[in-house]
Structure 1
Amino acid sequence: MTLTSFGPANRIKRVAETHPLTWRLRDDGEAVWLDEYQAKNGYAAARKAFADMAQDDIVQTVKDSGLKGRGGAGFPTGVKWGLMPKDESINIRYLLCNADEMEPNTWKDRMLMEQLPHLLIEGMLISARALKTYRGYIFLRGEYTTAAKHLNRAVEEAKAAGLLGKNILGSGFDFELFVHTGAGRYICGEETALINSLEGRRANPRSKPPFPAAVGVWGKPTCVNNVETLCNVPAIIADGVDWYKSLAREGSEDMGTKLMGFSGKVKNPGLWELPFGVTGRELFEEYAGGMRDGYKLKCWQPGGAGTGFLLPEHLDAQMYAGGIAKVGTRMGTGLAMAVDDSVNMVSLLRNMEEFFSRESCGFCTPCRDGLPWSVKLLRAIENGEGQAGDIETLLGLVGFLGPGKTFCAHAPGAVEPLGSAIKYFRHEFEAGIAPTSAVVPPLAKPIVVGA
């Protein structure tokens, strides 16, 4: 699979005015190092932020831009920044970049870190200036070895150029940046679990409040942002709020552009920078090229394994948080997966729930016990050994592990695809119920998904 921001037949020219994240990419896929990055206007936004903007003005600009988190939750970035304490006596603060990208079918942050490492560093530098943080960490998925190598080289280049370290750009502002590779846990994508892991603790989510802005790394104020989120900051500072908002399609409530992609048995799997508000059909047909010959689209997920399945008729939904919510699920990471007509949904869900069950931190009972229970039931149904009432029990688990029922969002994300799969393809689950099975009382009153 290629990591590219080109459209079909390379028909879209990437320029700064329309592709703020990807216009600097090299056609050969090699990393853009410091000299080339600066030749392409790199660090100009950082120089502007340091020379011409007060720290609070940077925060307000990001807030006015409408930038939202690109990791999946979609929380307004400027609002999150505004939660950091204003007390100047608190001189130890941290900025964390969540680069743990372990969502299945998602690889957008990997492309940015491998090919444009200085874009992330510039975004963190501006953010650190705005938030008055003196130290930053890029918490990186351990399997991303190439990204780690490229980020470490880029950090050293930036230090040598006076863009990191002491008295940056003669401003008197100090900022140190470190690349920290994790041990490979999905739960580290949750910001407080990430903080615990960074401190050397078990990667369990923390109770909130207090939120990291008040009590974060080593008890100090901390802001955690996703890779793609931070990479949007330089363009917003350089070109302004009105320009950034103008990038999105009409009807979209989310501003700017988004790295979107399609995997599965499509003709042109890949990754593209597109304006918020494009339709799923445009992404699927014009960019991914539709299904390969001999395959038919059965269903699709809009943004990672933790989002619900949608049918082909839902492709006309606009790709932004509210647009996808209208058809019953979440935008997630924006990297879609096509499921072809040869796939059995019970087998697919068994595979997914095994992953989510394995990656549970085990802290709360619904997640720790409920996900393995779903795997046991799905495995029986997959083998044709399901019992009457198993589907109702699975739907009961979807409800008991849903939003607000568990300590963090891991379990709700894990069962969302399960609920939608039963909703749209119940007959495939029913086919795995043994004809002579005894009636087993369901877990609870059946929950009608999507009612």
Structure 2
Amino acid sequence: MSNEIVVNVCMGTGGIAAGGSQVMEAFISELEAAGVENATVKEKCRLHKVGCRGFCARDVLVDITINGNVSTYQYIQADMVPKLVKEHVVGGKPVSDWLVGEDYHTFHDNQTKIVLADLGKIDPESIDEYLAVDGYKAAQKVLDTMSPADVIQTIKDSGLRGRGGGGFPTGVKWSFCAANDSDQYYIICNADEGDPGAFMDRSIIEGNPHAVIEGMIIGAYAIGASVGYIYIRAEYPLAVDRLNMALKQAKEKGYLGENLFGSGFNLQIKVKLGAGAFVCGEETALIASIEGERGMPRAKPPFPANKGLWGKPTIINNVETFANIPQILNKGADWFASIGSEKSKGTKVIALTGKIRNTGLIEIPMGMPLKDIIFNVGGGIEGDKLFKAVQTGGPSGGCIPQQHIDLPVDYEGLASVGSMMGSGGMVVLDETDCMVNISKFFLEFTQAESCGKCVPCRLGTKRLLEILTRIVDGEGREGDIELLQELAEDVRDSSLCGLGMSAPNPVLSTIKYFRHEYEAHIKQKKCPSKVCNKLLTFFIREDMCIGCGMCARACSVKAISGQVKQPHKIDNSVCIKCGACFDACKFSAVLKE
């Protein structure tokens, strides 16, 4: 037995969904039993939960550290725990068959972690573990030795830009707010992350909530705010629970409330639960929601930094922005500015999803080429298929084609090809994806989430969706592409808020780079990627059909006939092209063309 044993179990949302709670319970039971047989185990082994360490596709991930030597296991289930305890914790010998492979290390080694540095290492429910990694050190330094102006200048010098989507310089925004003459200032953390496939902010709060709180303390001191809000959607119960726990712990330690660190500075932070409206990610709609009004944006100016919550100067930054602040104050503006590209400093947390081998949460230096993210960090395209495009910036972002695979991923680089950084979602698409259908998918989301306040967004996105639906259903008309482009530009140029302004991006970027797919749908009534069912013909290959009848049972209109153990046939005059037969066949006998 070694002198120190630490067992970490991933208990982020991904880990819990994969069975993390059961794995934790199994470790508790098995370690208790091992402690009876060998008292040194129970005495010297520390078991605790940690947040997401990024490689969500391999959960449940478990680290066993013996005297500083770390072994990481993947795909762990509760019934595997007894062997891990017996052979590794007690016996000191790792179970080699369950260890992560080289791709796990490649995934992490190609990243630069600032915000995610402690995720997967510390218990998010323990303030003492945050303090052990210099937690609240920056806040105390600021309150003890720096003026608000010094703090703002440091953030300006670092080059930190808001990570919520727009990329506005954080220090400049803070200076605008602090310059107002007011009896009250507010600071708000926007944790209303609603992009499909995005889980950056949620995972940061689940894995290291105190970093966000500390960043808010520093920001509040810089602008003179005594009240802060964290606006987070109620759909994230784990993040909400850990956030409330962290706020309670910070208050008990004297890091929130009255006279922080004995400095005379006061700050209260409250949690406001959102109901899941995507538009409330827009700052003025978020403010309206906190005020008890319907979450709808208003025209700007005035900007919230001048007239925000209840008409008072207000700073709004997102989770990732605030989580960067303590590191900048601890390590210096020059350190942060040395990372990234010329105009985009630091790192960016990205939710990497789609047709890629290594899905999960990553943090890369600004300016890293798209190719390196996909093929080094991400491990390449799933199933060795061809890379086709990547959607960045969430549903309001653009689709970047293979020809721009060497594009640097920063604010300027993405904007140059008609996309955007957004909050950091990245969906990888392969040769089997239909770009017209992808555009329709994202329009369905943004159209449904439109608050309806302004006509261009309310009606424009609806008309865009109608045209796209018509095209994928095989009813596209000559002139539809030009109509889509004209309408998309009108919606972009005349909508009230960022949701409407960016909603047409998937349409415009796919027309720009994949116009031939639109033309095939409209002129040839064909889907080149064989995705749009209403443009396909389904048939059964007799030499591959064993007559199991699965396809016939899946067909709701009884278009498939045949005897048991004999090849079946599809009557295309009856077939509604739903694709249920294709999905049901386990022998690849149902084909589509």
Per the alignment, in what secondary structure is the counterpart of residue 231 of structure 1?
Answer: helix
The TM-score normalised by the length of structure 1 is 0.90
TM superposition shift of 1:150: 0.5
- 1:94-113 matches, within 5 Å, as 94-113=186-205
Q: Are residues 192 and 40 of structure 1, via their aligned partners in 2, closer, same or farther at CA, if it must alter by over 3 Å? A: same
2:463 to 362, 366, 373: 373
Q: Partners of 2:436 and 2:417 in 1: how far apart?
A: 22
Q: Partners of 1:387 and 1:55 in 2: how far apart?
A: 60
Name the counterpart of 2:117. 23
Name the counterpart of 1:4. 53
Name the counterpart of 1:415. 504
TM superposition shift of 1:13: 7.1
2:383 to 293, 296, 303: 293
1:336 to 426, 429, 436: 426
Amino acid at match of 1:424: Y
TM superposition shift of 1:97: 0.6
Amino acid at match of 1:427: H
- 1:223-372 matches, within 5 Å, as 223-248=315-340, 251-372=341-462
Contact 1:142–1:184 (CA<8 Å) still a contact in 2? yes
Contact 2:107–2:376 (CA<8 Å) still a contact in 1? no
Q: Partners of 1:327 and 1:354 in 2: how far apart?
A: 23
Name the counterpart of 1:69. 162
Q: Partners of 1:231 and 1:264 in 2: how far apart?
A: 26
Amino acid at match of 1:361: C
TM superposition shift of 1:313: 2.4
Per the alignment, in what secondary structure is the counterpart of residue 475 of structure 2?
Answer: coil
The more displaced of 118-127 and 390-399 is 390-399
Alignment pair present for 1:160 and 2:252 = yes
Q: Are residues 374 and 105 of structure 1, via their aligned partners in 2, closer, same or farther at CA, if it must alter by over 3 Å? A: same
Q: Are residues 262 and 85 of structure 1, via their aligned partners in 2, closer, same or farther at CA, if it must alter by over 3 Å? A: closer
The more displaced of 257-266 and 234-243 is 257-266
Name the counterpart of 2:143. 50
Q: Partners of 1:266 and 1:196 in 2: how far apart?
A: 39
| Structure 1, unpaired ranges of 5+ | 437-451
Name the counterpart of 1:190. 282
Amino acid at match of 1:265: K
Q: Partners of 1:366 and 1:13 in 2: how far apart?
A: 43
Amino acid at match of 2:212: L
| Structure 2, unpaired ranges of 5+ | 1-13, 16-51, 56-101, 526-593
TM superposition shift of 1:224: 0.6
Q: Partners of 2:524 and 2:413 in 1: how far apart?
A: 41
Amino acid at match of 2:315: C
The more displaced of 300-309 and 51-60 is 300-309
- 1:196-211 matches, within 5 Å, as 196-211=288-303
Amino acid at match of 1:152: N
2:516 to 406, 424, 427: 427
Q: Partners of 2:179 and 2:384 in 1: how far apart?
A: 60
> Percentage identity across aligned positions?
42
| Bigger fraction of residues in strand | 2
TM superposition shift of 1:131: 0.9
Q: Partners of 1:8 and 1:68 in 2: how far apart?
A: 31
Per the alignment, in what secondary structure is the counterpart of residue 200 of structure 1?
Answer: coil
Amino acid at match of 1:317: L
Q: Are residues 374 and 24 of structure 1, via their aligned partners in 2, closer, same or farther at CA, if it must alter by over 3 Å? A: same
Per the alignment, in what secondary structure is the counterpart of residue 431 of structure 1?
Answer: helix
Q: Partners of 2:210 and 2:517 in 1: how far apart?
A: 48
Amino acid at match of 2:438: L
Deviation per residue, 1:4-63 (Å, 9 max, x gap): 35794225778xx96321222225x85252000001110000110010101111111111
Alignment pair present for 1:401 and 2:491 = yes
The more displaced of 107-116 and 423-432 is 423-432
Per the alignment, in what secondary structure is the counterpart of residue 521 of structure 2?
Answer: coil
Deviation per residue, 1:196-250 (Å, 9 max, x gap): 01111111111211111221111111111111011111011111111111122xx
Q: Are residues 69 and 87 of structure 1, via their aligned partners in 2, closer, same or farther at CA, if it must alter by over 3 Å? A: closer
Q: Are residues 30 and 169 of structure 1, via their aligned partners in 2, closer, same or farther at CA, if it must alter by over 3 Å? A: closer
Structure number with the bigger relative contact order (C-alpha 8 A, sep ≥ 6) is 1
Deviation per residue, 1:375-407 (Å, 9 max, x gap): 1111111110122222211111111012x4211
Name the counterpart of 2:214. 122
Contact 1:384–1:434 (CA<8 Å) still a contact in 2? no
Contact 1:26–1:32 (CA<8 Å) still a contact in 2? no
Corresponding residue pairs, total: 429
The root-mean-square deviation of aligned C-alpha atoms, in Å, is 2.1
Q: Are residues 172 and 423 of structure 1, via their aligned partners in 2, closer, same or farther at CA, if it must alter by over 3 Å? A: same
Q: Partners of 1:193 and 1:64 in 2: how far apart?
A: 30
TM superposition shift of 1:413: 1.2
Contact 1:8–1:286 (CA<8 Å) still a contact in 2? no
Q: Are residues 417 and 87 of structure 1, via their aligned partners in 2, closer, same or farther at CA, if it must alter by over 3 Å? A: closer
Name the counterpart of 2:129. 36
